[in-house]
Amino acid sequence: STSRILCSRLRERIMSAEQAAELISPGANVGMSGFTGAGYPKAVPAALAERIRHHNATGGKPFRINVWTGASTAPELDGALAEVDGIEMRLPFQSDPICRGRINSGTMEYVDYHLSEVSQYAWSGFLGKMDIALIEVAGIREDGSLIPSSSVGNNKTWIEQADKIILEVNAQQNAKLEGMHDIYYGTALPPNRKPIMLTHPADRIGEAYLHCPVDKVIAVVETSAADRNSPFKAPDATSRRIAEHILEFFQREIEIGRLPKELLPIQSGVGNIPNAVLEGLDAGPFKNLTAFTEVIQDGMLKMLKSGTLGVASATAFSLSPDGIREFDENIDLYRDKIILRQQDISNHPELARRLGIIAMNGLIEADLYGNVNSTHIMGSRMMNGIGGSGDFARNGYLSIFVSPSTAKDGAISSIVPMVSHVDHTEHDVKIIVTEQGLADLRGLSPRQRAHAIINNCAHPDFRERLLDYFNRACASGRGMHTPHLLDEALSWHQRYETEGRM
């Protein structure tokens, strides 16, 4: 509603989504808001998709744009544009089925970056010039500054870098989001960087609003639609077992004195298993934990409400419809406990290292030596992307990777002789957990790790064959640091591709 647009100069630029979509040219680099289904533009991408569909139906040079975001968005953005083959290049993360199909069929280029690094790449000119920023906000203030929406992502950078800006003002975003954000304007490129003075997840180091040069704004579009996120499945036996192993591990580390009883700031990926771990933490004896993470999912709201979690710092929400309802109804309770930052701060290596975060992320497969693949199916098909997992895994105090021990009804082992793609190297991975158990890899050599991973994490159906591979590799007379049989190392994947079973 117009009441959310208090700047008179920007009120003059109100137009329809269709009119705004006309302002985006073929080949444009477009920086869009959006992070894990939160705070993405809801109207202009769909109008643009319609324009592209129409254009392409009438022939001529295909109309495609390059889409840069914070992370994943939703069907109205990635889905709609991919459907009409309107995306030439996508970065830095997606999880949309139509997008994924295009990436894997080779009809969409995709660059998968660590999420903390994207803005500095843009600043450094590595990605080319940004033409237009298309940003959802919760409101525009009299001076033209912006009340951010349910995610911050790369919006600060896109607004600064783009020649032109289109704003979507979404009246369905809770007006009380105002004041929850902390936008830091102290970043610089080397050699002029200064330390980031944040020493606790609750610290505020910036401002509540996004600066916006009014002259660059070429359109303002009013919308009223909720963020779209799928509900979580209730934790199943597998994810509950994984959560139990992690909780036992935390208890033991506290007893030994390697973790304080409030733990250290937790980072948790999205998905059913991380959500189950959060539920497990909430049911346990913990109080006043902190989170320094990317996304706030349903499990974190519950923990904030119960007091298990005292404060959560993130760059976005990723809530189910029930979660959004809970947040809206009790926003006064959550407002003081949640801080939303831009993703180059929420995921900053300096901060992850200083705070000593406990990183918990999913894996697709891990190998005997602890290398982790989080992105690729059978070495070549993109699933989602690395997201923030690498920002946190390498720089955190503990990096925990979780997965069921098998996939596709037991046809695939998540523990393989050699990963078919590496996202997190053996040097970054400290702990692997499946429903079978937990392998603590700290202080172990590669061959010692192989025993821990096979014995604790592999599914019994695959355990003996893994051990057989390892023993034969050790006996092969080749290198004994990470013994491999090169002609067999990827044979499990090959077998799955040809026979449908590893």
Question: Catalytic site residue 365?
Answer: no
Q: Which is nearer to ligand 0RQ, 38 or 166 (CB)?
A: 38
Closest-by-Cβ residue to ligand 0RQ is 387
Q: Which is nearer to ligand 0RQ, 170 or 267 (CB)?
A: 267
Q: Which is nearer to ligand 0RQ, 150 or 384 (CB)?
A: 384
- Minimum distance between the CB of residue 278 and ligand 0RQ, rounded to whole angstroms? 13
Query: Could you tell me which stretch among 20-28, 105-113, 268-276, 429-437 binds ligand 0RQ (CB under 6 A)?
Result: 268-276
Looking at 201, 269, 437, 483, which residue binds ligand 0RQ (CB under 6 A)? 269
Looking at 407, 467, 485, 490, which residue binds ligand 0RQ (CB under 6 A)? 407
- Minimum distance between the CB of residue 8 and ligand 0RQ, rounded to whole angstroms? 38
Q: Give residue for tokens 């080949």.
A: 27
- Minimum distance between the CB of residue 479 and ligand 0RQ, rounded to whole angstroms? 26
Looking at 48, 71, 220, 281, which residue binds ligand 0RQ (CB under 6 A)? 71
Q: How far is CA 443 from the centre of its chain?
A: 29
Please pick, among 76, 117, 136, 294, the residue that the annotation labels catalytic.
294
Q: Which is nearer to ligand 0RQ, 177 or 400 (CB)?
A: 400
Distance, in Å, from the CA atom of 207 to the CA atom of 191, rounded to the nearest integer, reads 24
440 binds ligand 0RQ (CB under 6 A): no
Long-range contacts of 308-313 (CB under 8 A, 24+ apart): 308/281, 308/282, 308/284, 309/337, 310/202, 310/337, 311/201, 311/202, 311/337, 311/338, 311/339, 312/201, 312/337, 312/338, 312/339, 313/201, 313/202, 313/265, 313/338, 313/339, 313/340, 313/341, 313/346
Strand order in the sheet with 309-314: 181-182, 338-341, 309-314, 289-292, 266-268, 358-362, 398-402, 431-434, 437-440
410 binds ligand 0RQ (CB under 6 A): no
Q: Which is nearer to ligand 0RQ, 131 or 279 (CB)?
A: 279
* Window 34-53: residues binding ligand 0RQ (CB under 6 A): 36
Provide DSSP, 324-375: HHHHHHTHHHHHTTEEEE-HHHHT-HHHHHHHT-EEEEE-SEEETT--EESS
The conformational region for residue 428 under phi > 0 = left, psi -120 to 50 = alpha, else beta, is alpha
* Cα atoms in the 13 Å half-sphere on the side-chain side of 371: 13
408 annotated as a binding-site residue: yes
Looking at 78, 117, 294, 298, which residue binds ligand 0RQ (CB under 6 A)? 294
Looking at 80, 162, 412, 454, which residue binds ligand 0RQ (CB under 6 A)? 412
**H or E segment and range at residue 292:** strand 289-292
273 binds ligand 0RQ (CB under 6 A): yes
364 binds ligand 0RQ (CB under 6 A): yes
Distance, in Å, from the CA atom of 19 to the CA atom of 220, rounded to the nearest integer, reads 10
229 annotated as a binding-site residue: no
Query: Could you tell me which stretch among 14-22, 82-90, 361-369, 464-472 binds ligand 0RQ (CB under 6 A)?
Result: 361-369
Distance, in Å, from the CA atom of 222 to the CA atom of 3, rounded to the nearest integer, reads 11
Query: Could you tell me which stretch among 156-164, 200-208, 271-279, 462-470 binds ligand 0RQ (CB under 6 A)?
Result: 271-279
Question: Which sign does the torsion angle of CA 436, 437, 441, 445 carry?
Answer: negative
Kindly provide the b/e burial profile for residues 354-390, where b requires at least 16 CB atoms within 10 angstroms of the residue's own CB: bbbbbbbbbbbbbbbbbbbbbbbbbeeebbbbbbbbb
- Minimum distance between the CB of residue 261 and ligand 0RQ, rounded to whole angstroms? 26
Q: Give residue for tokens 């990723």.
A: 318
What percentage of the chain's residues is helix, strand, coil (to nearest 5)? 35, 20, 45
* Window 377-406: residues binding ligand 0RQ (CB under 6 A): 377, 383-384, 386-389, 404
319 binds ligand 0RQ (CB under 6 A): no
Looking at 49, 246, 351, 363, which residue binds ligand 0RQ (CB under 6 A)? 363
Distance, in Å, from the CA atom of 428 to the CA atom of 371, rounded to the nearest integer, reads 8
Number of residues that bind ligand 0RQ (CB under 6 A): 28
- Minimum distance between the CB of residue 412 and ligand 0RQ, rounded to whole angstroms? 5
Q: Which is nearer to ligand 0RQ, 113 or 250 (CB)?
A: 113
Q: Which is nearer to ligand 0RQ, 33 or 389 (CB)?
A: 389
- Minimum distance between the CB of residue 205 and ligand 0RQ, rounded to whole angstroms? 22
270 binds ligand 0RQ (CB under 6 A): yes
- Minimum distance between the CB of residue 46 and ligand 0RQ, rounded to whole angstroms? 23
Distance, in Å, from the CA atom of 4 to the CA atom of 113, rounded to the nearest integer, reads 34
Distance, in Å, from the CA atom of 7 to the CA atom of 176, rounded to the nearest integer, reads 19
**H or E segment and range at residue 382:** strand 381-382
Question: Interface residues with ligand 0RQ (CB under 6 A)?
Answer: 36, 71, 93, 269-273, 294-295, 361-365, 374, 377, 383-384, 386-389, 404, 407-408, 412, 414
Could you tell me which residues are annotated as the binding site for CoA?
364, 384, 388, 408
Known catalytic residues are 294
